[in-house]
Amino acid sequence: MVLFAKRVELLGTENAFKVGEDIRRVEASGQDVIRLNLGEPDFNSAENINLKAKQQIDKGNSHYTDPAGILALREAIAEQVGRTRGFSVNPDQVVVFPGAKPSISYTMLTYVNPGDEVIYPSPGFPIYESWVTYVGAKPVPLHLEESKGFAFTAEDLDKLLTTRTRVLIINSPSNPTGGVLSQKDLEEIAEVVRARTDETFRIYSDEIYEQILFDGNVHRSITLLPGMRERTILVSGHSKTYAMTGWRLGYAVLPTVEEANSFKQLNINIFSCVPPFIQEAGVEAFKNPANPAIIAEMTQQFQLRRDMVVDALNAIEGITCAKPGGAFYVFPNIAGVCEKLGILNAYESIPADKQKRSSPSTLFQLFALYRQGVATLDRRSFGVVGSEGRHFLRLSIAADMDTLKEGINRLQRASRDPEGFAHFFSHMPER
């Protein structure tokens, strides 16, 4: 008999959380760590939101709610989504979850059978690939090439679609590249979807970074295009926009009430409901007139940091870094550093079974963390399938300027230290 069901080994992970174990080890050895691995704003949630939750707890608002979410929150979401995407949303099409994340698994469980295919961006949020694999579907990565500004063309998408494709996942602004799909990109996607799929095909549009956009850009949702909202599961949440990651509040707008009920059924089966005082705080986030200015200020800070970080990274020999249009990450190409430090050769010398669990950018990420005390994430953390030969890191810019400057200094020191790398590689910790 075996303890674990077979599917257990199919589930992936999110290294932004997992790297914590390495950080603790490094800190235990006496080295401080600059954390550029985190996917959350370094700002706190607004006072008006905090106050609302406290008042609600004191009022005794501590009971189960409608599993789909309280009506006031679903109405506020329907109003916000309807106003910004230009169509009318019925609150019964809205389902609320603890964070945006559960809707990824729900989409796979609701629309995808074993053997079906799902197209998702790579590099992309790692939980997409994790769940596609977990439900026994075929993961089909849509590679976002640096040379195309981390976007993709209609032709790229067209080549990947088959009669078994059930869902296309898109994410703009993107984690981890910060890339933003242009109006033209979206129109091309819509055209391919209209031409090549039927009404049972679904787009999962992850719009969680919808308000973190730079250079005066405004968010464009695929649902604005003809024929798209009827096929799109539009997902967003409070985590990034309102700096509420730990509160756990997200939502989806489903194409039909029937599909929303199917998601609601999963809520009933898994967690019953999101705590009522958190949902009330979520309404406050939408409604308090002070909040748009708070979001604008946070975004402005991210933009200033982006400008500093991109310039500083491009000044390091062996690194090139594109300028992201949104979110709070940069995604530098470190191929030159991997070459210069002898990492490509070192990787080739690893036994084949270990190579499968690593990559040159993984080795650099570990070297920078263990020897210089700067935590980042490697390319493999954003989709493993087809990631070979792609040498990138993700740095979060959700840290203050001084921390970011120190982090980049440490990366620079790591990038100039081939002897240090050779020594690290021969004494590398077992993970």
Residues near ligand PLP (CB under 6 A) = 39, 99-101, 125, 171, 175, 206, 208, 237, 239, 245, 250
Nearest to 135 by CA among 164, 106, 165, 98: 106
| Residue number with CB closer to ligand PLP (34 or 127) | 127
| Residue number with CB closer to ligand PLP (89 or 96) | 96
Pairing of strands 393-396, 377-378: antiparallel
Rounded CA-CA distance 191/161 in Å is: 13
Instruction: Please give the residue whose beta carbon sits closest to ligand PLP in the complex.
Output: 99
Rounded CA-CA distance 401/395 in Å is: 13
DSSP letters of 377-412? EEGGGG--TT-TT--BEEEE--S-HHHHHHHHHHHH
End-to-end CA distance of the chain: 28
Rounded CA-CA distance 117/157 in Å is: 13
Check residue 278 and report its DSSP letter. Answer: H
Write down the least CB distance from residue 252 to ligand PLP, Å: 11
| Residue number with CB closer to ligand PLP (277 or 367) | 277
Write down the least CB distance from residue 226 to ligand PLP, Å: 26
Write down the least CB distance from residue 4 to ligand PLP, Å: 25
What is the amino acid identity at position 316? Answer: I
| Residue number with CB closer to ligand PLP (327 or 414) | 327
Write down the least CB distance from residue 301 to ligand PLP, Å: 18
| Residue number with CB closer to ligand PLP (146 or 206) | 206
Nearest to 313 by CA among 362, 387, 374: 374
Write down the least CB distance from residue 376 to ligand PLP, Å: 15
Write down the least CB distance from residue 143 to ligand PLP, Å: 17
- Cite the beta strand spans of 72-184 per DSSP E: 94-97, 117-122, 138-143, 165-171
Rounded CA-CA distance 312/288 in Å is: 38
Write down the least CB distance from residue 240 to ligand PLP, Å: 7
| Residue number with CB closer to ligand PLP (250 or 407) | 250
| Residue number with CB closer to ligand PLP (14 or 158) | 14
| Residue number with CB closer to ligand PLP (237 or 407) | 237
Write down the least CB distance from residue 126 to ligand PLP, Å: 9
| Residue number with CB closer to ligand PLP (394 or 410) | 394
| Residue number with CB closer to ligand PLP (206 or 259) | 206
Rounded CA-CA distance 430/286 in Å is: 47
Indicate the length of the chain as a whole number.
Answer: 431
Burial of 132-147, coded b for 16+ CB within 10 Å and e otherwise, reads bbbbebbbbbbbbebe
Write down the least CB distance from residue 233 to ligand PLP, Å: 13
Write down the least CB distance from residue 32 to ligand PLP, Å: 25
Which helix H or strand E contains 35, and what residues bound it?
strand 34-35
CB 384 within 8 A of CB 12: yes
What is the C-alpha R_g of the chain? Answer: 22
Rounded CA-CA distance 409/429 in Å is: 24
Could you tell me how far CA 427 lies from the centroid of its own chain? 33
